[in-house]
Structure formats: structure tokens, C-alpha cells
Amino acid sequence: MSEKQQKIGAGHVNGMARSGLKEIAQILPAFPAHGVQPVEEAGLAGNLTPQEIASDKGAYETMLNGYGSRGEREQQTKNRDLEM
């Protein structure tokens, strides 16, 4: 473990600076018909990284599959009740 572990948020200031520079670069042309659309930096506070999005997607799909199987069980129960 000779590698030094970075603290959480260590790259946040650099990311904010890059984001600010991108926004300034979009403003400089100053075309009134075009709005400023800032480019979001992945990993800043509030912006998920691609890895976090992929892991959340798996959890979301698992949740939806659970709802689907629950609905199927309820439908089968209703059908059994109707047959009786």
C-alpha cells in the first residue's frame, strides 16, 4: 500500500475550473441567438460518474423485475380466485 490514497473531493476544484473555462469559452462568441449550455463534468458534486450510473441501472432493473414478478403473482392469484 505504497500508493497515497486521495481524499474524497480532491479533484473537485480542478473539475470546477475546467467546467468554468468551458462555460466561458461558450460565452465569448456572444451570439444572442444561442444560449449558454454548460458541459457537465462527470464526478463533480451532484454529477454521477459513468460507473455509478451503470451500477444504479443494475439496481433499478432488479427493482423493476421485482415489481414485474409481484404483478404476475397477483394476477395468478386473481385468476385462481375467479376459477373457484
Q: Are 19 and 44 in contact (CB under 8 A)?
A: yes
Question: Does some domain include residue 72?
Answer: yes
Of 66, 41, 14, the C-alpha closest to 6 is: 14
Question: Does some domain include residue 1?
Answer: no
The rounded mean pLDDT for the chain is 75
This prediction's pTM: 0.32
Q: Identify which of 18-22, 32-36, 37-41 has the greatest average pLDDT.
A: 18-22
Q: Please indicate, yes or no, whether residues 41 and 53 belong to a single structural domain of this protein.
A: no
Q: Please indicate, yes or no, whether residues 43 and 54 belong to a single structural domain of this protein.
A: no
What range does the domain containing 77 cover? 49-84
